[in-house]
Amino acid sequence: GIPARARVRFPAPGTLSCTESGRRPAMACCNRDDDDESGSVTTSTASDSENEDCGDLKAKVVENLPPVRMMILPMLCVFQGYACMVGPAQQKFKAELGIGQNGGLARTFTQAAVFVHYGKLVARLGHDIIFGFLSPMTRVYVSMGLVFIGTIIPPLFVFDLHQRWIGFVFMSYGLTGIGLGVFEVTYLAVITPMGKLTKAWAIMGIPLAFGTVNILGLLCTSEGMPVPYLYWYIVALIPVGMLVLHVYGKGLQDTGVVVGHGHGGSVPQKGFGTAILEWRLWLPLLFPHLVGKAMVNFVMENATPVNYYVYNAKEVPLFGPTTTDHLVPHDLFFAAVGICVLVGDMSSRRLTASLSLATYRSNAIVLTASVLCSLVGFWLESMAIGVLSLAAIFLAFWGNGLVYGASAKFIDNELPKEMNLVGYSLWCFVGDLGAIVAGVVVDYVRNWVCGGVEYQYECHSHN
């Protein structure tokens, strides 16, 4: 696949010359595209030195572009669909199906829920094969359509039509996972020509999506809003995200930079097979980021559902499973969990966006800190104490945000440019391996945390 390209708009021919009074080649040195009548340019034919100057100039223009903040919305819309698959909405979906915490049907539901991670795993690298005939931008639209279909299944068939077929879980989670897997890596590559500030805003859509569903959504359900309304809101917003992408993805006319569509691009991207043959150029550089991604994804994707199946009574004790005072309503507690997710994930992403991370050592420090945060969070989760679980989830998502922000910056700045899409694909693929392991062992970790005991306000065998 080849990502979108950035083209710099220059004055019409004759208004500036390539060299004036012996000065360095000006912006006008770069010639027009044959297929563009607007004055866009791609390369200079004057000389190698002028061509290099023009390339450097365009790189600086793209690097210093102001952010297109609306590009946060497509990411928000898609990841709201993901949030309802792994957040408290999963517990409510399971309860609506009449499935408890034990027995064969419960284990089947757990494995069906892991299909969201299987779908992501297959799509991370498989999109270049399955959707290889589509341009990257078209793949983004197709992936958003898959997430739309996946998220409409629970409210339509289970909550509204009251169907109890377990196959709906496999279909919903599998389609959403495939859509998410294609969307994340392709969208990050497609918006690269819009500049680092736009990408920094876009990745903020992930914690904001979880915050919207797990904070505002749960506050609404705690006040009596039916759960299907939350699902329908998520479904309705996905077409809005597609419309925003269509409008703002066409170009940045006010800044003079155009994001092209189709298979043309300033840096053609390597296919995965070719990139593997040239692994020495990029894989050793990326390896620490792969390890960090796998570790934080395991903790993040395990701590989130385990909490929902440990604190599954109508009220949650804040200071231990055996206490019967200092109780908080279930949905309010998980709204607080959502706040910890939002603050931890978003603040750490903003931190990495503000850091230069110009050396390999600085990247190693950030990755080490993120893994340590995640491990401490996993340890705190095992204590089954409400207030410590809030700290645990904050640390887990703080670590995730550190890795996400640092790795996105590293892939864009340090890997060979032609390996951008492959780098993102493999990085997300390895993270999904950690998420799959986390999802498969959810029931085992939950039983380990509960110690085989059912308390008055924790570790109920039913939802």
Q: Convert the pLDDT of each residue in 208-222 to its tens digit.
A: 998 899 888 888 888
Question: What pLDDT, on a 0 to 100 scale, did the predictor assign at position 305?
Answer: 79
Q: Which of 74-78, 303-307, 373-377 has the lowest mean pLDDT?
A: 303-307
Q: Convert the pLDDT of each residue in 443-455 to its tens digit.
A: 889 889 998 889 9
Taking 50 as the threshold, does the pLDDT of residue 254 lie above it? no
Question: What pLDDT, on a 0 to 100 scale, did the predictor assign at position 5?
Answer: 36
Q: Return all residues near 73 (Cβ < 8 A) that are at least 6 apart.
A: 205, 240, 241, 244
Question: What pLDDT, on a 0 to 100 scale, did the predictor assign at position 175?
Answer: 95
Q: Phi and psi of 55, rounded to 5°? A: -60, -40
Question: What pLDDT, on a 0 to 100 scale, did the predictor assign at position 261?
Answer: 34
Distant-in-sequence contacts of 98-101, Cβ < 8 A, 24+ apart: 98/164, 99/463, 100/461, 100/462, 100/463, 101/309, 101/312, 101/446, 101/460, 101/461, 101/462, 101/463
Q: Return all residues near 224 (Cβ < 8 A) that are at least 6 apart.
A: none
pLDDT above 70: percentage of residues in the chain: 82
* C-alpha to C-alpha distance for 177 and 453, rounded to whole angstroms: 34
Pairwise pLDDT comparison (4 vs 206), residue with the higher score: 206
Token pair listed for 422: 């492959």
Question: What pLDDT, on a 0 to 100 scale, did the predictor assign at position 251?
Answer: 52
259: pLDDT confidence band, cut at 50, 70 and 90? Answer: very low
36: pLDDT confidence band, cut at 50, 70 and 90? Answer: very low
Closest Cα partner for 362 from 397, 413, 299?
413
Question: What pLDDT, on a 0 to 100 scale, did the predictor assign at position 16?
Answer: 34
Question: What pLDDT, on a 0 to 100 scale, did the predictor assign at position 19?
Answer: 38
Q: Please give the average per-residue pLDDT across 303-326, as a whole number.
A: 88
Centre a 10 Å sphere on the Cβ of residue 111 and count the other Cβ atoms it contains. 16
* C-alpha to C-alpha distance for 311 and 261, rounded to whole angstroms: 48
pTM above 0.75, yes or no: no
Distant-in-sequence contacts of 161-164, Cβ < 8 A, 24+ apart: 164/97, 164/98
